[in-house]
Amino acid sequence: MLRVVALAARNLTRLWRRSLLTGGLIAIGVVAVLLFVAAAGSFRAMMIGQITDSYLGHLQVHRRGYVAAVETLPLHLNMSARQAQAVEEVAARIPELVAIAPRVKFGAMFSNFTETTNIRVNGIDPARELAVAPALPDRFLQGDRDGLLQRGEILVPELLARGLNVKAGDTVVLIATNRDGSVNGRTLTVRGVISGVTGPGGRDGYVHIEDARAILRSPEAEVSEFVLRARDLAAIPRAAAALEAAFAARAPEGQRVPFEVHAWDRLSPFAAIANMIDVMTLGIRVLLIAIVLVAVMNVMIMAVYERIREIGTIGAMGTPPARILGLFLAEGLLLGIVGVASGILLAFGAVAVLNVFPITFSFGQQTGLLLRPVLPPVEVALVGGTVLLVAVLASLQPAWKAARLDPIAALRHV
């Protein structure tokens, strides 16, 4: 076998410029794919991290129908205290989950005493919110971020702060209608101004959960949504499945499960961008496969055509067809190996350079984001394996033709 591979390697040196060109073409393809995967992957991971860590969390649990009507922040679809307790009990038993935080959400009027606008308010338990959205303090544009907020304080979204000329330390009023239709208001101090996040949240402010319940005159510790944090992003699907299974198991026979579980990607429009990145990655992979297929097949077809008499000679000498097949497959495989090896080396070099001199970019309202591409070993193995497989497949037809050549016809070939 090694001798066949050694002979295949020698054969590739016959027209070394052509072999080098083909290997180079494959290498360029590998570099392009790996760089794209590294850059797109790090962009994707960074944006998902931003969205989940600063606002959405990894998972959310609502009462059935809440998310469908979320634009109106329906108070009548809040969970009762008993239901909220049930959710917390279930979450506590799922090992993939590391934190859970309740939110009370409602729509309100926001006034600086001269102007009024509408605001979406998130009533949060600051300590628990930090456990599920640890990057929330990073959104502070003004004010003391330590501990997020206390009772009587509000975090105002940048859009509103700018529009109503509100700054940290100012006094504002929130006025809301509760589920019974009665209106209530409360004066709050602006603890800070926070930036918006990608996706919904441009008009989302934060108050303490007890203030939220007080404004809404809630008779009990109701909850609009629970935000949960999984051990890591990979654990989200397992955690979601475990939650759904546990809720289903607790639901009375014949009744619908009262809760819905949503992973972050079902709540954020960025999921569509993330999916688009995945589709583009797939597209560029297909392009690479096409490059390798065309390049290797072209070279191997030419190699067989140019060596027909030689194939006739070795066939006449008694070389088994399987060994002739193996010889040409080995040539294709070696072309792939040369391309993959050099492509991977170049890609690692380029990624190292990009990490030393990182590219900055803006996304939405976030500026100065640093792109630090990472090449996951799994991706490298996947791209390398795909290229090698395609190189062998591309060689299959020419190699098969060589193995099936009639020595008489081949020796007669001019």
Partner 1 sequence: MTDAVVAERVVKRYRAGEVEVTALRGVDFTLAEGAFAALVGPSGSGKTTLLNMIGCLDRPSEGRLAVLGQDVGALSRSGAARFRGERIGFVFQDFNLIPVLSAAENIEYPLVMVQSWPAERRRARVAKLLAEVGMTDQAGKRPDQLSGGQKQRVAIARALATGARLVLADEPTANLDGETAQRVIALMRRMRDEEGVTFLFSTHDPRIIGAADLILRIEDGAVRTEPAAARETAHA
Near partner 1 by CB under 8 A: residue from 4, 257, 271, 346? 4
- Residues whose CB falls within 8 Å of the CB of residue 315, separated by 6 or more in sequence, listed in order: 321, 324, 405, 406, 407, 410
In 3-state terms the chain splits into helix, strand, coil percentages (rounded to 5) of 55, 20, 25
Provide, rounded to whole angstroms, the least separation between the CB of residue 317 and partner 1.
5
Tell me if 332 contacts partner 1 by CB under 8 A: no
**Rounded Cα gap, residues 181 and 211, in angstroms:** 18
- In angstroms, give the least distance from the CB of 27 to partner 1: 23
Identity of the residue numbered 188: L
Instruction: Evaluate whether 192 touches 168 at the Cβ level (below 8 Å).
Output: yes
311 near 400, Cβ under 8 Å? no
Q: Strand, helix or coil at 100? A: strand
Choose between 358 and 407: whose C-beta lies nearer to partner 1. Answer: 407
319 part of the interface to partner 1, by CB under 8 A: yes
Selected binder of partner 1 within 74, 102, 315, 398 (CB under 8 A): 315
**Among all chains, which residue has been given the structure tokens 């996951």?**
376
Rg for the chain, CA atoms, rounded: 31
Number of residues in contact with partner 1 under rule CB under 8 A? 23
314 binds partner 1 (CB under 8 A): yes
313 belongs to the binding site for partner 1 (CB under 8 A) = yes
Count other C-beta atoms under 10 Å from residue 238's C-beta.
Answer: 15
Tokens of 210: 């007890």
Q: Is 413 in the site for partner 1 (CB under 8 A)?
A: no
Among 151, 266, 309, 413, binds partner 1 (CB under 8 A): 309
**Stretches 166-174, 254-262, 341-349, 404-412: which one binds partner 1 (CB under 8 A)?**
404-412
Give least dist CB 47 to partner 1, A: 53
CA distances from 177 to 48, 124, 142, 194 (A): 34, 19, 29, 25
Stretch near partner 1 under the rule CB under 8 A, chosen from 42-50, 140-148, 263-271, 317-325: 317-325
| Residue nearer to partner 1 on the CB measure, 13 or 72 | 13
Question: In terms of CB distance, is 281 or 319 closer to partner 1?
Answer: 319
Q: Closest separation between CB of residue 375 and partner 1, Å?
A: 36
Work out whether 310 is an interface residue with partner 1 (CB under 8 A). Answer: yes
| Part of the chain binding partner 1 (CB under 8 A), chosen from 4-12, 248-256, 290-298, 359-367 | 4-12
Q: Considering only residues 65, 185, 320, 349, which one is a binding residue for partner 1 as defined by CB under 8 A?
A: 320
3-state SS, one letter per residue, for 129-198: HHHHCCCHHHHEEEECCCCCCCCCEEEEEHHHHHHCCCCCCCEEEEEEECCCCCEEEEEEEEEEEECCCC
With tokens 């944090």, the residue in question is 229
H helices, E strands: number in the chain: 12, 12
Give the nearest distance from C-beta 333 to partner 1 in angstroms. 17
| Contact in structure between 295 and 336 (CB atoms under 8 Å) | no
Q: Which stretch binds partner 1 (CB under 8 A): 21-29, 63-71, 177-185, 316-324?
A: 316-324
User: Does residue 5 belong to the site contacting partner 1 (CB under 8 A)?
Assistant: no
Which residues here bind partner 1, judged by CB under 8 A? 3-4, 7, 10-11, 13-14, 309-310, 313-321, 323, 327, 407-408, 411
